[in-house]
Structure 1
């Protein structure tokens, strides 16, 4: 069964207060890197997997995309996207990523931001994305870094004075289900190794162009706790093309 915490009223309310929800892309600590990795959108057909509030969809349109399809499992997310980031060039659909009809060669670019760690199989997604892209089409995505997801709790170890000691990494090679506490709720995520991400792409017919483990934007280091994000990677970003 596909989990959808984002339609939980309390959870969605907490998520809506996050910087990336309120301020859009400029409130996302990794956007300064992901933006640089994006391809030319001019005249392109774009698919956004796990579009959330639609910030990346409207960005693609602003950069010249012809048609953008944004899908998300959450009705609340899609409703918010239609309110905040509506455009005649964007079609929002409420559905799970796994349930989308990946028709052959219907998109020039596929993007996804922080969604695939909610899916059990990365290989399935790679094959479906490859199928729906044209030859030479671009696939750019971000996920939570395997170092971040390995242990599962996604919380620091603290000393008796509540000082952050270290980030736990354990069971790295044991892939699969993890229960993380996010915004006060237990959320199911799926840990995958770096090997799984890279080989999943290569074995599905992609050519990897760039791999980035982004550091926070220097302008955000004054935010309380943000400097600790330099102590371990939180995101993994990959840009590739269909051969």
Structure 2
């Protein structure tokens, strides 16, 4: 399950992983549906009309189709997983959406070619975050925006479930350790050996600034009252932030 030191991870093409992930998304029972996606919408420009968009880690192509429905001029939707892209193409009938199989690290992108670059819950799989940010900064047109979400560093620090429980299995508190020690973490999610790269909030933000981008928004979303009303189990997500969302702009 572990890729070589220079190979991008492609866990989504593992049959067992893909089956588990697809079932989660189809049921819309994961935290991305009730927490991450509503918050991600707040990172975006007020209007997507006429924008040239790059979607890194596009998955099933949901954002690409939504963006086109809101008037985006074109979307280049990139994913390393052949299984994810096959599902995306099956769900899409739009010549202005182009799907490309490539890793985030190696996709060919032209300088100033995009008005908006998005990445939803994918960059924590990337080992060389600074190199990716530099490429994205160059790919943005002046005034363009880079919006992304990742698992919160409080969640990636140890990897896996970090709830400390009592003898009856009740959650006592969320454990955080090795926070300043950046690098890969192996965890279990549908299958063993899933690798996510831990980095601090300081690194996520500071790297954007070092690449010449201007921080526009930072969110650590929790469940809104409407979600809590229908799913009281989400109350536990107020005890630690599951996601970190950031938007940064290239100056005009």
TM-score by length of 2: 0.91
Whether contact under 8 Å (2:158, 2:178) holds in the other structure is yes
Which of 43, 58, 61 aligns to 1:37? It is 43
Which of 123, 140, 151 aligns to 2:147? It is 140
CA distance in 1, matches of 2:199, 2:221: 18
Whether contact under 8 Å (2:34, 2:223) holds in the other structure is no
Q: Is structure 2 residue 236 aligned with structure 1 residue 228?
A: yes
Deviation at 1:94, TM superposition (A): 1.1
| Pair 224,180 (structure 1): closer, same or farther in 2 beyond 3 Å | farther
Deviation at 1:168, TM superposition (A): 1.2
Whether contact under 8 Å (1:32, 1:217) holds in the other structure is no
Which of 7, 28, 36 aligns to 2:13? It is 7
Q: What secondary structure, in the 3-state scheme, does the structure 2 residue paired with 1:162 have? A: coil
Q: What secondary structure, in the 3-state scheme, does the structure 1 residue paired with 2:35 have? A: coil
Whether contact under 8 Å (2:155, 2:162) holds in the other structure is no
Whether contact under 8 Å (2:220, 2:241) holds in the other structure is yes
Equivalent residue, structure 1, for 2:112: 105
Deviation at 1:78, TM superposition (A): 0.3
| Pair 24,169 (structure 1): closer, same or farther in 2 beyond 3 Å | closer
Task: Give the alignment of 1:200-211 within 5 angstroms.
Answer: 200-211=207-218
Q: Give the unaligned 5+ runs of structure 2.
A: 1-6
Equivalent residue, structure 2, for 1:57: 64
Q: What secondary structure, in the 3-state scheme, does the structure 2 residue paired with 1:239 have? A: strand
Equivalent residue, structure 2, for 1:237: 245
Whether contact under 8 Å (1:150, 1:172) holds in the other structure is yes
Task: Give the alignment of 1:171-186 within 5 angstroms.
Answer: 171-186=178-193
Q: Give the unaligned 5+ runs of structure 1.
A: none
| Pair 24,48 (structure 1): closer, same or farther in 2 beyond 3 Å | farther
Q: Is structure 2 residue 86 aligned with structure 1 residue 67?
A: no
Which of 225, 241, 244 aligns to 1:218? It is 225
Q: Say what the alpha-carbon RMSD is for the aligned residues.
A: 1.8
Whether contact under 8 Å (1:54, 1:81) holds in the other structure is yes
Deviation at 1:224, TM superposition (A): 6.2
The number of aligned residues is: 242
Deviation at 1:158, TM superposition (A): 1.7
CA distance in 2, matches of 1:8, 1:223: 31
Deviation at 1:87, TM superposition (A): 1.8
TM-score by length of 1: 0.94
